[in-house]
Structure 1
């Protein structure tokens, strides 16, 4: 169980109470982590939220998820800290390993937690999702299942109408498309098909029970040390971390995509998966002996959307994977969706009536805050794909040397109290080029240290100073 005592500076948001006639009536399409996050943030901002979910039940897949401090900070601000602290596993460090198990470098999460003022947390996705669902309901969210969206009519200037496959129509002041990487809302907004881009990788996602592992001298340390481990090899890599107080281990195996065209998820063959990693670090085949069944997931991404994220009238907008899906190689896909929701909430906390002008300003600031940041995350995820999958040889040796060189520089910063700006990097090393992306000379300084509210405040003022139509105060 995690402790929140280390994070007294994270302010928990209180729910704003607006007169009913002043509240924006918002429909969120999709009850995944992004949709629930948007719902929570908009409810805290004082508005009404109705969530539509196409499935017959609201739930999440059985897999793990890593929450970096920029994500956990948002979750704590939403009032989820005490609940999630009981559900989270707190990883101690990440180990970066060669495919044969040789140690390359590591990163201490404890030191980073102190620096960034928020925890690294690992969850079973269903635990995180369930806690967020409860929080949304507590704040007054309403839900509708078996609600498959087929169209969104934005012909009216002040509202949008959602059409469901059942024929039902739902009118809202604002519709948020948070329906994932294969988003129907995105297709509706763009006026046609908009498939994500295949990356050439697929993921085997495995959730293992740990009974019996404590008796194996090779696997027992996995349960005791709570380390995140990355093994990097030619054309593939593997990740493992502990969940639910050591009751489960989440394993993700990333390999070349051999799935049939058009498929996004298929049942995998356990023996085939095991064979792919038979020659790797012996601990991986040992872990995979505990696997009974597995699914394969095609990994895709979405490059930056050329058009705005919302329509001209400010009645329809996109959020999360529907607009910026990324490879999971920075552990930041869900985190970006949570940030989207937090930023959207902060923007709409400044909206106190249903005027079109107010919604358009809030959505303009939302996109201004999120567009460049999420595009950079998508781009860096693609860089990590290359870094994690380098073939053995000169490039791999140079990569490993960079891992180690930046580890020494990190040590200097921590021990001598030097700032990033004071460090003179050796020739050949640049800020941003640390292959362990979470460290400060990777992308940690801007990825993990992100402040949603400060970004909204900065961009709100900038928009008012540069766009004449938004100069009047709301």
Structure 2
């Protein structure tokens, strides 16, 4: 279809990628976000090859390779520091045809913003409702502004207003069961090799670093905790030192090197797979469509796949906008449901929901040569629309 006008609500990773894909398709695009200043949630993201392929297809390959980190190997350690397994990611890269690029969320957002044109993003616009007619859809904002278009894309995140319109009812967020601290630190050999994703595991907890651009590590800590524990940055180091007492020296070094004021502390939630991703001329993408825990590293990649699939469906059918959106839903619904449930299953194993399964996983890691881990990552990547 030609000459469409698209309104994208949400200027995060999914919204901006969707806007770029729509622009590349030749559509008129308006982008709105509720915030006064764009600040990405979280410090870094493990952008696997399926997400990178979407960016390549949109002409952003050189940019993402420049800001992404050189992740060439992966290792698991016991909390004591005993090496369980270390392996090169070269077989995975050869299998899927593209290196992964762990990246700072700020760098990624700035790259996408530059590509879409910052002048095309209108901030301080909180969407409060969506209306539809037979030949259009309208996003209505708190300040009274109405954005009328052929299509409204709901990229308004895990607390999505537009999701409620699509489903006809609110969605309950579900606490997955653990708290995640994350941030950026200068890359250094006393934490990990500069080209490696290193993960320390024990007690249902994790401590990890992976390389991102500009000689930095993206780090995270996971600890199973009750919902509602307090977030006090001035106590982050003390809190983490207690949870990771006796763990290996690189973990202790990481705790001392992190900047509490630039560290995020998040209670991890997901949402049950949705019964619908579209309604008429309104489509959901990203966290609005599939709010998942980060345990498969696929949240951002799935948002990018959504963006590509939605634009592609609009370009390759001429029956109607509604038909194109139904085809988008059919292409994505099972895929993203599998990611949400797969991440939840992995989270349960990683974070000792059933301790005996977690201990079995630790034992298996000690016998792992990398093939089983890379095969699982490869299957997830190759099941997407970019192959």
* Both proteins in one fold, TM over 0.5: yes
What is the deviation of 1:199? 0.6
1:237 matched to which residue of 2? 206
1:372 matched to which residue of 2? 334
**Alignment of 1:188 onto 2:174:** no
1:413 matched to which residue of 2? none
- Within 5 Å, which residues of 2 pair with 1:90-105? 90-105=70-85
- Within 5 Å, which residues of 2 pair with 1:315-334? 315-334=281-300
CA contact (8 A) 1:185 1:318 kept: yes
**Alignment of 1:292 onto 2:267:** no
CA contact (8 A) 2:71 2:101 kept: yes
1:64 matched to which residue of 2? 44
**Local SS of the residue matching 2:38:** coil
Taking the aligned partners of 1:136 and 1:393, their CA distance within structure 2 comes to 46
**Alignment of 1:344 onto 2:310:** yes
CA contact (8 A) 1:233 1:389 kept: no
CA contact (8 A) 1:31 1:52 kept: yes
User: 1:254 pairs with 222, 225, 228, which one?
Assistant: 222
2:144 matched to which residue of 1? 167
Structure 1 residues 192 and 105: CA distance shift in structure 2, 3 A:
same
Taking the aligned partners of 1:391 and 1:372, their CA distance within structure 2 comes to 25
Structure 1 residues 236 and 400: CA distance shift in structure 2, 3 A:
closer
**Alignment of 1:310 onto 2:243:** no
- Within 5 Å, which residues of 2 pair with 1:31-110? 31-61=11-41, 63-110=43-90
CA contact (8 A) 1:59 1:130 kept: no
Taking the aligned partners of 1:169 and 1:197, their CA distance within structure 2 comes to 32
Taking the aligned partners of 1:121 and 1:53, their CA distance within structure 2 comes to 26
CA contact (8 A) 1:233 1:390 kept: no
Taking the aligned partners of 2:84 and 2:27, their CA distance within structure 1 comes to 49
CA-to-aligned-CA distance 1:398-421 (integer Å, 9 cap, x gap): 32443455537x3xxxxxxxxxxx
**Local SS of the residue matching 1:299:** strand
2:5 matched to which residue of 1? 25
What is the deviation of 1:201? 1.1
User: 2:123 pairs with 137, 140, 145, which one?
Assistant: 145
CA contact (8 A) 1:208 1:250 kept: yes
CA-to-aligned-CA distance 1:50-84 (integer Å, 9 cap, x gap): 11111112332461111111111111111111112
Taking the aligned partners of 2:129 and 2:333, their CA distance within structure 1 comes to 25
CA-to-aligned-CA distance 1:367-403 (integer Å, 9 cap, x gap): 1111111111111111211332349986455324434
Structure 1 residues 84 and 445: CA distance shift in structure 2, 3 A:
closer
CA contact (8 A) 1:201 1:299 kept: yes
Q: Name which of structure 1's ranges 290-299 and 75-84 shifts more when overlaid on structure 2.
A: 290-299
CA contact (8 A) 2:306 2:332 kept: yes
Taking the aligned partners of 1:256 and 1:375, their CA distance within structure 2 comes to 24
CA contact (8 A) 1:43 1:49 kept: yes
* Structure 2 residues without counterparts, runs of 5 or longer: none
**Alignment of 1:227 onto 2:196:** yes
User: 2:181 pairs with 204, 213, 225, which one?
Assistant: 204
CA contact (8 A) 1:346 1:453 kept: no
1:274 matched to which residue of 2? 241
**Alignment of 1:117 onto 2:97:** yes
**Local SS of the residue matching 1:126:** helix
Taking the aligned partners of 2:234 and 2:22, their CA distance within structure 1 comes to 39
Taking the aligned partners of 1:391 and 1:27, their CA distance within structure 2 comes to 42
CA contact (8 A) 2:171 2:271 kept: no
Q: Name which of structure 1's ranges 75-84 and 183-192 shifts more when overlaid on structure 2.
A: 183-192
Q: Report the TM-score when normalising by structure 2.
A: 0.91
**Local SS of the residue matching 1:113:** helix
CA-to-aligned-CA distance 1:419-470 (integer Å, 9 cap, x gap): xxxxxxxxxxxxxxx5x3xx21x3x34311245257xxxxxxxxxxxxxxxx
Taking the aligned partners of 2:365 and 2:245, their CA distance within structure 1 comes to 26
Q: Report the TM-score when normalising by structure 1.
A: 0.75
Taking the aligned partners of 2:243 and 2:366, their CA distance within structure 1 comes to 28
CA contact (8 A) 1:109 1:120 kept: no
Report which structure shows greater RCO (CA 8 Å, sep ≥6).
2
Structure 1 residues 72 and 28: CA distance shift in structure 2, 3 A:
same
Taking the aligned partners of 2:48 and 2:166, their CA distance within structure 1 comes to 31
